[in-house]
Structure 1
Amino acid sequence: MAGVTSWLAQAPPIRRAGALLALLLLGVLLVWLQDITQPPPYAPLPTEHGEPDYYIEQARAIRYNAVGERLQILESPQVTHYPENNLALMDQPRVHHYGENGQIWRITANKAEYRNQQEIYLEDRVRITPLNPDSPYLPEFATSRLWVDLPTEFAHTSAPVTFTSPGGITHGKGLNLNLDTGQAEIPEQAQGQYHPQPAMQD
């Protein structure tokens, strides 16, 4: 660079101006090449629900009950909000719900819709797991879609459901789950395959 500067200082004014212009154009070209080789920072936001007004990365919302106790934590890597229907689309949502008896429920899916701050609709690989810190075995409900009504803290679906536990596997249709009390029911076509437990030694 020092050689270029020395050469510019000794060159005639017209040639010196031409060299400076060439260097400037070279710098612009390098910046332009750098810009076009970088991927866009975000994928285009979906517009099937109208024009979004904002999106949030690494979103985390906490709901509390009437006495100020933690009730629910809702997390997502990206949330896109659509004001026309007061709808928020969530990628990879994760819900932790804290029941009245201390039971914690974890609900995950590939995507979800947060509707009018009243309902969460989850779909695609929905998993509902009651967390028990005292046991390494975690039973799990699996289904394709699930509705969670926030005012009543009630989750339900009419889709096929599989319940897996250390004792076996139950298949059925539909799920009614009270997230507050922990009561769960598969209302239709429930069929189970249970593993025999080893006999206890005297």
Structure 2
Amino acid sequence: MAKTARFQSPWWRRLGLLVLLLALGGGLTYLDQRGENDQEPVIGNTVGEPDYYLEDARMTRFDEQGRAYQRLETPRLVHTPSDDIIRTEAPHGYLTDDQQRQWQVTSQTGQLSRSGEQLTLQGDARLVQPEQAWSLETQTLHYDNREAHAWSDTPSVLRQHNQSMRGNRFDAWINEDRMRLTDNVQGRLPQQSEDQGS
């Protein structure tokens, strides 16, 4: 009995407890490090980390003859290399057609993709043709520079002076000076007085 009492001394219990805690700590550290290495990138995250951003940015794109065909001003511009998209806040810009007329565009946010050939404007998007005094208002506006084609698949309102037309789809080919409003088209065309008609 005397030997058994010495074997379970407080010193031996403390040493055993210390060895058990060290083994448990080492095991948890191993599992934690292994879990970090086994994590794979999140597939759903298409945005990725930006490689640069600019504040109070002005961007101008030029054609092969050195003529400016697209200008964009924004308080903040961010580029992400994973999808090669430039994202902008409150963009304000100009699209120049073959006749050197400037079509004004604005929205809450914007994206330039495909090396700047595709512009998408979202949130209170507007396209204005100042020379003919007409403007388009829609939620999302797309513009393809190669075809000089602007379009919207969201409800759009086209205004000129005191006339307005509404439809579910809008298309404009700015180099051809041609536009089309389709799907559930409704219009407001105020009547002219007889004096103005003659």
TM-score w.r.t. structure 1 length?
0.69
Could you say which structure has the larger radius of gyration? Answer: 2
Residue equivalent to 1:179 = 174
Change (3 A) 1:111 1:201: closer
Match of 2:156 among 157, 161, 181: 161
* Equivalent runs, 1:130-149 vs 2, <5 Å: 130-132=129-131, 138-149=133-144
> Structure 2: which 5+ runs fail to align?
1-44
Instruction: Supply the distance in 2 between the matched residues of 1:139 and 1:131 (Cα, whole angstroms).
Output: 7
Residue equivalent to 1:4 = none
What is the total number of aligned residue pairs between the two structures? Answer: 152
Deviation readout 1:62-93 (Å, 9 max, x if unpaired): 12223222212122111011111111110011
Instruction: Supply the distance in 2 between the matched residues of 1:95 and 1:57 (Cα, whole angstroms).
Output: 16
Residue equivalent to 2:59 = 61
Displacement of 1:201 in angstroms is: 8.9
Instruction: Supply the distance in 1 between the matched residues of 2:140 and 2:100 (Cα, whole angstroms).
Output: 26
Matched position secondary structure for 1:186: strand
* Equivalent runs, 1:45-84 vs 2, <5 Å: 49-84=47-82
> Does the Cα contact within 8 Å between 2:87 and 2:111 map onto a contact in 1?
yes
Runs of 4+ with deviation above 6 angstroms = none
Matched position secondary structure for 2:76: strand
> Does the Cα contact within 8 Å between 1:103 and 1:182 map onto a contact in 2?
no
Change (3 A) 1:127 1:201: closer
Instruction: Supply the distance in 1 between the matched residues of 2:46 and 2:83 (Cα, whole angstroms).
Output: 12
Deviation readout 1:117-152 (Å, 9 max, x if unpaired): 2311110000110012xx7xx321100001111222
Change (3 A) 1:201 1:48: closer
Instruction: Supply the distance in 2 between the matched residues of 1:173 and 1:201 (Cα, whole angstroms).
Output: 32
Instruction: Supply the distance in 2 between the matched residues of 1:116 and 1:103 (Cα, whole angstroms).
Output: 24
Residue equivalent to 1:16 = none
More helix by proportion, 1 or 2?
2
1:152 maps onto 2:152 in alignment: no
Change (3 A) 1:48 1:66: closer
Change (3 A) 1:200 1:150: closer
Instruction: Supply the distance in 1 between the matched residues of 2:83 and 2:182 (Cα, whole angstroms).
Output: 32
Task: Report the residue type matching 1:128 in the other structure.
Answer: L
> Does the Cα contact within 8 Å between 1:99 and 1:182 map onto a contact in 2?
no
Matched position secondary structure for 2:168: strand
Matched position secondary structure for 2:191: coil
Change (3 A) 1:150 1:201: closer
Instruction: Supply the distance in 1 between the matched residues of 2:163 and 2:122 (Cα, whole angstroms).
Output: 25
Displacement of 1:48 in angstroms is: 6.6
Instruction: Supply the distance in 2 between the matched residues of 1:188 and 1:50 (Cα, whole angstroms).
Output: 37
> Does the Cα contact within 8 Å between 2:46 and 2:82 map onto a contact in 1?
no
